């Protein structure tokens, strides 16, 4: 069974531990006075971040966990403060004395530690990478993030779905449409409505456009991190054109506010022509990049994630599919009828992740032709019914999971598991036997979200 998420909901007398698997959801009640649970990390290594976060947020004790360090709480976060508990209402915190974070490290003759981040050159979110090195060879990597926690889960409590939408769609810029689609599906469940086919197509078209924008950016950056800057210039130009097309269709470059229940006019002839031009550009780009042996010397066999490890860590998205793991939320009748073909590779290296992105761009462009139509269909605003709702969307990074509990018409609990929260935990597996100069290349080939990872 594939682990998807593990999180906590606070009830009157107990905490409810909710564990979401591929085929079922398990719920366990634990006393607020003695909130102790068993770890799942011995079977599912990726459960450890969920469990560390549960302790930081709610004070849940995972008694047999192999890692009990704070996850979200930084070095000066006060002890015994658990901000997602209902009784926590403070507007500010008093910093505690500095408590050093103990990083995992390999020790021995000639082994040394290299710290990268959390502040980086360029425009990038903060993230820390701690390496154990033997010369140039990477022996071990520990990823540590959560430097800009925005308190979104707490922020959304007590809001209506309508009030929450502008916040939800801004959680992660690369996945704004995907987040909105998860929100949309929960709204439809809560109002007991079905989305007209024309709106399904428009929303799916925007999701694929978002995927194309993200992948085009990566297709330029990956060769750039192998020393071939011309690819970045070309890929950035194509990504910028696509970003402007998103603004033309939605009014915003990142598609904020794009997923509505009224269909807006699309100049289908103009959009089809743009798709054909982009298809031609992608064909040129593919022929160009595939014929540079020095690039593929860097791509091939670098940053390998085996199928066994991809499965063990429950990876999703491009990271999973490049290792031969067939995980994609678009495997459904709607997408298959509109031309979806799942891209996959088996070598699990940088080259495989590059090829999966390239294949997905081409398939997304093909599907967008099929999804493009003119229709003025709309859906009336419905009444919200209290309940617990969940949804999934295949973002450009991978499977996105969202859960919202509604009580008295207001959000009682909001939880989201970005695909990056899973895939960041597998990144260290790709570094062994490679040199530290390959770290940026391997990292960019996964291109995970910092913001979506840290709510």
Question: Do 389 and 311 fall into the same domain?
Answer: yes
- Please tell me the total count of domains within the chain: 3
Main-chain phi, psi angles of 358, to 5 degrees: -60, -45
Q: Note the pLDDT of residue 125.
A: 87
pTM metric for this prediction: 0.96
Our separate counts of H helices and E strands in the chain read 14, 11
How far, in Å, CA of 139 to CA of 232, rounded? 30
pLDDT of residue 380: 82
Question: For residue 328, which of 349, 308, 342 has the smallest C-alpha distance?
Answer: 342
163 and 82 share a domain?
A: no
End-to-end CA distance of the chain: 26
Tell me: the pLDDT tens digits for 140-191?
A: 999 999 998 999 999 999 999 999 999 999 999 999 999 999 999 999 999 9
Domain membership of residue 212 (yes or no) is: yes
Spell out the residues 6+ positions from residue 109 whose beta carbon is closer than 8 angstroms to its own: none
Residue 83 lies in a domain: yes
DSSP letter for each residue of 27-90: EEEEESSS-EE---TTT-TTHHHHHHHHHHHH--EETT-S--S-SSS-TTPPTT--TTSTT---
User: Is residue 328 in a domain?
Assistant: yes
In the prediction, which pLDDT does 438 show?
95
Residue carrying the six token digits 């798709």? 275
DSSP 331-387: -SHHHHHTT------SS-SHHHHHHHHHHHHHHHHHHHHHH------B----PPPPE
Instruction: Look at residue 455 and tell me if it is in a domain.
Output: no
Q: Give the per-residue pLDDT at 124.
A: 81
- Position 452 in a domain: no
Q: What is the 3-state secondary structure (H, E, C) of 299-344?
A: HCCCCCCCHHHHHHCCCCHHHHHCCCCCCCCCCCHHHHHCCCCCCC
We report the CATH number of the domain holding residue 275 as: 1.10.645.10
What tokens appear for 270 in the block?
């103009």
Q: Do 83 and 53 belong to one domain?
A: yes
Is 240 domain-assigned? Answer: yes
- If asked whether residues 87 and 143 sit together in one domain, one would say no
Contact 323, 271 (CB under 8 A): no
SS3 428: helix
CA–CA separation, 77 and 79 (whole Å): 7
- So what's the pLDDT on residue 264? 81
In the three-class reduction of DSSP (H, G, I as helix; E, B as strand; rest coil), residue 255 is classed as coil
Q: Are residues 349 and 213 in the same domain?
A: yes
DSSP state of 259: -
Query: Are 54 and 90 contained in the same domain?
Result: yes
* Assigned token pair, 307: 């199928």
Q: Return phi, psi of residue 359, to 5°.
A: -65, -40
Q: How far apart are CA 428 and CA 361, in angstroms?
A: 27
pLDDT of residue 205: 97
Same domain (yes/no): 72, 108: no
Q: What secondary structure letter does DSSP report for 252?
A: S
CA atoms of 208 and 342, how far apart (whole Å): 13
pLDDT at 266: 87
| CA separation for the pair 214, 242 (Å, rounded) | 10
Asked if 239 and 367 count as a contact pair (C-beta separation under 8 A), the reply is: no
Q: What residue numbers bound the domain in which 4 lies?
A: 1-98
User: pLDDT for 102-116, tens place per residue?
Assistant: 999 898 999 999 999
Q: What is the residue whose two structure tokens read 């390959």? A: 438
pLDDT of residue 91: 86
Position 66 in a domain? yes
Is 403 within the bounds of a domain? Answer: yes
Alpha-carbon span 247 to 177, nearest angstrom: 13
Same domain, 225 and 110: no
Same domain, 36 and 81: yes
- Tell me, what's the pLDDT at 92? 87
Specify the pLDDT at position 45: 97
- DSSP category for residue 265: P
In this structure, the answer to whether residues 92 and 130 fall within a common structural domain is no
Q: What is the pLDDT of residue 152?
A: 96
* Spans of the chain, pLDDT less than 50: none
Tell me: do 136 and 261 sit in the same domain: no
- Determine contact, residues 64/23, Cβ cutoff 8 Å: no
- Does one domain contain both 7 and 110? no
């Amino acid at each position: 069974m594939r682990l998807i998420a593990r999180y906590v909901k606070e009830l009157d007398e107990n905490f409810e531990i909710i564990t979401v698997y591929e085929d079922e959801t398990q719920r366990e009640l634990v006393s607020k006075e003695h909130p102790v649970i068993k770890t799942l990390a011995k079977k599912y290594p990726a459960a450890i971040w969920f469990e560390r976060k549960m302790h930081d947020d709610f004070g849940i004790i995972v008694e047999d966990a192999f890692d009990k360090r704070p996850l979200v709480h930084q070095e000066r976060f006060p002890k015994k403060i658990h901000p997602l508990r209902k009784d926590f209402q403070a507007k500010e915190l008093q910093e505690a004395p500095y408590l050093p974070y103990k990083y995992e490290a390999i020790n021995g003759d000639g082994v040394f530690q290299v710290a990268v981040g959390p502040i980086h050159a360029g425009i990038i979110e903060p993230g820390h990478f701690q390496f154990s090195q033997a010369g140039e060879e990477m022996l071990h990597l520990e990823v540590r993030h959560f430097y800009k926690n925005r308190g979104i889960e707490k922020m959304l409590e007590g809001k209506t779905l309508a009030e929450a939408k502008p916040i939800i769609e801004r959680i992660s810029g690369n996945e704004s449409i995907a987040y909105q689609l998860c929100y949309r599906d929960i709204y439809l469940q809560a109002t007991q409505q079905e989305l007209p086919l024309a709106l399904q197509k428009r929303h799916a078209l925007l999701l694929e456009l978002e995927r194309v924008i993200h992948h085009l950016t990566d297709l330029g950056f990956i060769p750039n991190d192998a020393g071939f800057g011309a690819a970045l210039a070309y890929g950035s130009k194509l990504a910028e054109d696509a970003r402007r097309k998103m603004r033309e269709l939605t009014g915003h470059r990142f598609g904020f506010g794009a997923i509505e229940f009224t269909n807006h006019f699309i100049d289908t002839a103009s959009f089809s022509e743009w798709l054909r031009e982009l298809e031609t550009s992608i064909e040129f780009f593919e022929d160009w990049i595939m014929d540079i042996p020095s690039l593929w010397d860097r791509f091939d066999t670098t940053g390998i994630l085996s199928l066994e490890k991809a499965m063990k860590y429950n990876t999703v998205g491009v990271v999973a599919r490049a290792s031969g793991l067939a995980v994609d939320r678009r495997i459904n009748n709607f997408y298959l009828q509109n031309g979806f073909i799942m891209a996959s590779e088996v070598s699990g290296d940088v080259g495989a992740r590059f090829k999966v992105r390239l294949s997905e761009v081409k398939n997304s462009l093909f599907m967008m032709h099929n999804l493009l139509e003119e229709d003025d269909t709309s859906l009336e605003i419905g009444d919200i019914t209290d309940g617990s709702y969940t949804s999934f969307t295949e973002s450009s990074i991978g499977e996105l999971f969202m859960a919202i509990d509604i009580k008295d018409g207001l959000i009682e609990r909001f939880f989201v598991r970005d695909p990056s929260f899973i895939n960041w935990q597998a990144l260290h597996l790709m570094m062994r036997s490679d040199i530290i100069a390959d770290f940026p290349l391997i990292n960019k080939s996964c291109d995970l979200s910092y913001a979506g990872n840290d709510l």
